[in-house]
């Protein structure tokens, strides 16, 4: 019989009420063990992977684990191996990353329902989870709507205020839930991009289903306030046929440039294989259209001209580690400030710049975080 079953959630919640502490604290007091943690992720996304790695680094720095993952593959975009490393090597007395605690929706509706059901059955039957970490808007919605008595920390979701995941940038509105809100990050990207290329009309190219996740409001607000033309160009995304998806993307770019007269483009994340990406990169270079990737170095390494670097993710990870630390110390997640002001240096692809016939100014070259001289998809 598990020790948890001898006490149960009723006793745990009672202890919380009497002492005014978090469930994570109560778990440590009742079972004399570290806080059990699981991760729920919407699917494989390189940004989720980097955030988890940097959060682990932050946890090591604040003393919640003994060792953050090292020697991880630079070819992967998922979080499974990062989680496995935390399970095996994190150490410390405060957190335990459960070996069977990595859940992945795979960006699939049917799988989402299946995995969600598995998690909720676990919480009801095994009752061995004290803290839930989440990546993705859909996964965050699922957890915060169904779970009210376990701390939930959303490590990354798209514009949680606009999506209605939280009530405001300051507070989530739900006692056990916290979601990081990146204040003004998309507006800042557009502003920096315009400083380098004083474009007259900017196109934001995004799948129709991902407009709310693209930072469109921030980009549009910058263009409006700066009296710059703005075009939101959408395309239909269907994961059943990647080739069709990519052709839709190319058609949207072509329309923005050749029909709408846009002289610069910004891309959120999009689906493209290593074989497909050169078609987009070469078209933009031939037309001398500068492009900026919101997702940063993943696409810059493959030929998109500019993007945000990774420097800010170190601060991002420390921010999330501090949130976790506060939760373990008894602070309700819903009362912890959510706003993180993210800024970073840029990444640039010099090969693409040469294709366009553009010579980056010296001041930019000495300030960038990363400069790629090939259009290789490898990030090392």
3-state secondary structure of 22: coil
pLDDT tens digit sequence for 357-371: 999 999 899 889 899
Per-residue confidence at 29, pLDDT binned at 50, 70, 90? Answer: very low
The mean predicted confidence, pLDDT, of the chain is 88
> What's the rounded Cα separation, in Å, for the pair 220 and 215?
9
pLDDT tens digit sequence for 279-324: 999 999 999 999 999 887 889 999 999 998 766 688 899 999 999 9
| Secondary structure (DSSP) of 180-228 | -EETTHHHHHHHHHHHHS--SEEEEEEEGGGGGGTTHHHHHHHHHHTT-
> What's the rounded Cα separation, in Å, for the pair 318 and 321?
5
Written as six digits, the tokens of 293 are 């990737």
Backbone angles phi, psi at 374, to 5 degrees: -135, 175
Task: Give the torsion sign (CA, 196, 300, 349, 308).
Answer: positive
Identify the pLDDT of residue 8. Answer: 39
**pTM higher than 0.85 for the full model?**
no
> What's the rounded Cα separation, in Å, for the pair 166 and 127?
26
Vertex 342 angle, CA 190 and 218, to 5°: 35
For the chain, the 3-state helix, strand and coil shares in percent, each to the nearest 5, are 45, 15, 40
pLDDT tens digit sequence for 246-265: 999 999 999 999 999 999 99
Q: Which residue has the tokens 């001041």?
A: 363
Model confidence at 114: pLDDT above 50: yes
Identify the pLDDT of residue 317. Answer: 94
Query: Which segment of 78-82, 239-243, 319-323 scores lowest on mean pLDDT?
Result: 239-243
Per-residue confidence at 17, pLDDT binned at 50, 70, 90? Answer: low
Cβ-based neighbour number of residue 66 at 10 Å: 12
Measured in residues, the chain has a length of 380
> What's the rounded Cα separation, in Å, for the pair 108 and 154?
19
């Amino acid at each position: 019989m598990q020790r948890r079953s001898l006490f149960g959630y009723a006793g745990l919640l009672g202890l919380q009420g009497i002492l005014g502490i978090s469930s994570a604290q109560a778990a440590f007091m009742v079972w004399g063990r570290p806080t059990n943690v699981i991760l729920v992720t919407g699917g494989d996304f390189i940004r989720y992977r980097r955030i988890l790695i940097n959060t682990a680094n932050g946890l090591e720095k604040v003393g919640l684990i003994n060792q953050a993952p090292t020697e991880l593959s630079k070819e992967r975009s998922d979080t499974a191996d990062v989680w496995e490393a935390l399970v095996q090597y994190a150490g410390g007395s405060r957190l335990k990353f459960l070996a069977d605690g990595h859940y992945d929706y795979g960006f699939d509706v049917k799988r989402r329902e299946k995995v969600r059901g598995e998690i909720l059955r676990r919480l009801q039957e095994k009752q061995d989870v004290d803290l839930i970490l989440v990546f993705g808007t859909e996964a965050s919605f699922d957890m915060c709507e169904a779970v009210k008595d376990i701390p939930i920390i959303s490590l990354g979701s798209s514009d949680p205020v606009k999506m209605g995941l939280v009530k405001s940038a300051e507070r989530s509105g739900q006692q056990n839930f916290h979601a990081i809100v990146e204040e003004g990050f998309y507006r800042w990207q557009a502003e920096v991009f315009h400083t380098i290329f004083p474009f007259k009309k900017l196109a934001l190219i995004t799948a129709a289903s991902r407009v709310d996740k693209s930072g469109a409001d921030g980009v549009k607000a910058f263009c409006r306030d700066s009296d710059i033309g703005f075009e939101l160009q959408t395309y239909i995304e269907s994961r059943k046929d990647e080739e069709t998806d990519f052709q839709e993307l190319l058609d949207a770019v072509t329309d923005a440039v050749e029909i709408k007269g846009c002289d610069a483009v910004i891309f959120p994340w999009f689906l493209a294989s290593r074989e497909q990406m050169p078609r987009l990169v070469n078209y933009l270079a031939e037309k001398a259209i500068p492009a900026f990737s919101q997702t940063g170095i993943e696409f810059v390494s493959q030929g998109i001209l500019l993007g945000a670097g990774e420097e800010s993710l170190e601060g991002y990870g420390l921010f999330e580690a501090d949130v976790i630390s506060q939760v373990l110390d008894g602070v309700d997640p819903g009362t912890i400030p959510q706003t993180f002001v993210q800024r970073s240096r840029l990444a640039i692809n010099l090969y693409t710049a040469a294709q366009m016939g553009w010579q980056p100014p010296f001041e930019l070259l000495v300030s960038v975080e990363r400069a790629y001289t090939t259009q290789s998809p490898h990030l090392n």
